[in-house]
């Protein structure tokens, strides 16, 4: 009989009260065969069930499996695997995985990771176990107080490194569980000074590790300011308000001006700290787009500097500059300021063309206020391009 056939038979038998205990005893024997991880899987499901005495016998078999180098990897891996998804009742964790892996002293999970057997079954090596452990604290995992207490204090190197990796992603913030245990665990510290360590360095008050000559340090700080925990978000905001002159301040001002991200923290930090770009044109744009009118009027009373900046973005082949073009136009119109787009059209009038029916077509979506046709009315600009 093949392993698949045996597996299907024992799955049927453990679901029947009259055969369950017998099936558990046979599954226990299967634990020590080659490639028998499936037996551990069935035992985990049985131990998590309510069918007694089979559930108790299955749990004891798993305990004994953790003491045997032939079975321990498969038992631990499968017990974690069954807790990685969404389970409203979380019975597998509360009845099996938590007591099995964390209930002994030292915890069975630590004993396995510290001294793994020489030849674990494929797929149940320490690295695989760590991956499944982290799935138990993924974004959709239930809160498990015993697991969080364990992760908040452990110094096991593989686990600490896995937690650190949850803070080093350059795209996503650590989820709420990894955040809480990371803050609490004194053994979790930032490693190195590269941008992947920025989040953890701020949380752990290791600001000496931040490289403010790397502009993307500011990007990471802005990500940290979006954390759901107000105390942590405030830490990042305080750092953003105390950036040293040079690369870091210039990067923050550029983010605000270019609106690279819809980020209120960037604007709040830059305005409250009084940052200004070093270049005159960049400074004009920054003051104009952040609506700091007294300072803006002092350096560009005629609007010529803003118009020069507008022309550069308007004529740029870089599509990112076109977003800045629209930001200038939008800010001018919303604040009753001279519109550089209107000035441009006055200085560069469009050629007039007449259709056969005597009407003039819209050219490139220009507003009828400044050119032909268009769709600009009392409700404001509604589309189109300033490029013919």
| Cα 232 from Cα 251, distance rounded (Å) | 22
Tens digits of per-residue pLDDT, 228-283?
Answer: 999 999 999 999 999 999 999 999 999 999 875 556 899 999 999 999 999 999 99
Least confident among 15-24, 44-53, 133-142, 299-308: 15-24
Nearest CA to 166 out of 139, 187, 193 is that of: 139
Q: Which two tokens stand for residue 269?
A: 């930090």
List pLDDT tens digits, range 161-213.
999 999 987 778 999 999 999 999 999 999 877 778 999 999 999 999 999 99
Q: Dump pLDDT digits (tens) for 211-226.
A: 999 999 999 999 999 9
Interatomic CA distance for residues 284 and 287, integer angstroms: 5
> 367 vs 51, which has greater pLDDT?
51
**Which among 209, 258, 269, 262 has a CA at the least distance from the CA of 235?**
269
Cα-based angle 333, 335, 336 (whole degrees, multiple of 5): 65
What pLDDT was estimated at residue 50? 79
In Å, how far from its chain's centre is CA 358? 57
What is the Cα–Cα distance from 24 to 30, expressed in whole angstroms?
10
Q: Does 378 have pLDDT greater than 80?
A: no
> Could you tell me the pTM of the whole model?
0.80
């Amino acid at each position: 009989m093949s392993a698949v056939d045996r597996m299907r038979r024992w799955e049927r038998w453990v679901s029947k009260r009259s055969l369950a205990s017998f099936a558990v005893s046979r599954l226990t024997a299967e634990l020590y065969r080659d490639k028998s991880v499936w037996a551990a899987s069935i035992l985990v499901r049985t131990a998590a069930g309510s069918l007694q005495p089979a559930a108790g016998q299955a749990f004891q078999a798993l305990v004994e499996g953790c003491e045997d180098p032939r079975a321990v990897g498969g038992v631990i891996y499968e017990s974690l695997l069954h807790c990685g998804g969404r389970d409203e009742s979380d019975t597998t964790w509360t009845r099996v995985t938590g007591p099995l892996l964390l209930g002994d002293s030292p915890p069975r999970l630590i004993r396995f990771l510290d001294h793994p057997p020489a030849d674990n079954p494929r797929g149940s090596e320490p690295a695989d176990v760590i991956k499944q452990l982290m799935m138990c604290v993924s974004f959709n995992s239930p809160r498990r107080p015993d697991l969080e207490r364990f992760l908040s204090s452990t110094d096991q190197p593989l686990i600490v490194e896995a937690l650190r990796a949850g803070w080093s992603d350059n795209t996503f913030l650590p989820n709420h569980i990894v955040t809480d245990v990371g803050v609490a665990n004194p053994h979790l510290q930032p490693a190195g000074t590269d941008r992947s360590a920025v989040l953890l360095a701020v949380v752990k008050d290791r600001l000496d590790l931040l490289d403010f000559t790397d502009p993307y340090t500011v990007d990471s700080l802005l990500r940290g300011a979006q954390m759901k925990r107000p105390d942590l978000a405030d830490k990042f905001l305080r750092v953003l308000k105390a950036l040293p002159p040079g690369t870091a301040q210039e990067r923050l001002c550029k983010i605000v001006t270019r609106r690279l991200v819809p980020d209120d923290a960037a604007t709040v930090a830059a305005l409250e700290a009084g940052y200004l770009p070093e270049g005159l044109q960049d400074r004009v744009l920054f003051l104009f787009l952040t609506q700091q009118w007294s300072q803006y009027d002092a350096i560009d009373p005629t609007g010529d500097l803003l118009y020069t900046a507008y022309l550069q973005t308007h004529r740029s082949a870089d599509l990112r500059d076109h977003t800045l073009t629209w930001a200038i136009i939008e800010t001018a119109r919303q604040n009753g300021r001279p519109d550089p787009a209107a000035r441009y059209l006055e200085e560069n009038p469009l050629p007039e063309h007449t259709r056969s029916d005597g009407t003039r077509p819209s050219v490139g979506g220009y507003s009828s206020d400044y050119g032909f046709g268009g769709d600009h009315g009392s409700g404001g600009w509604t589309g189109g391009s300033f490029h013919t």
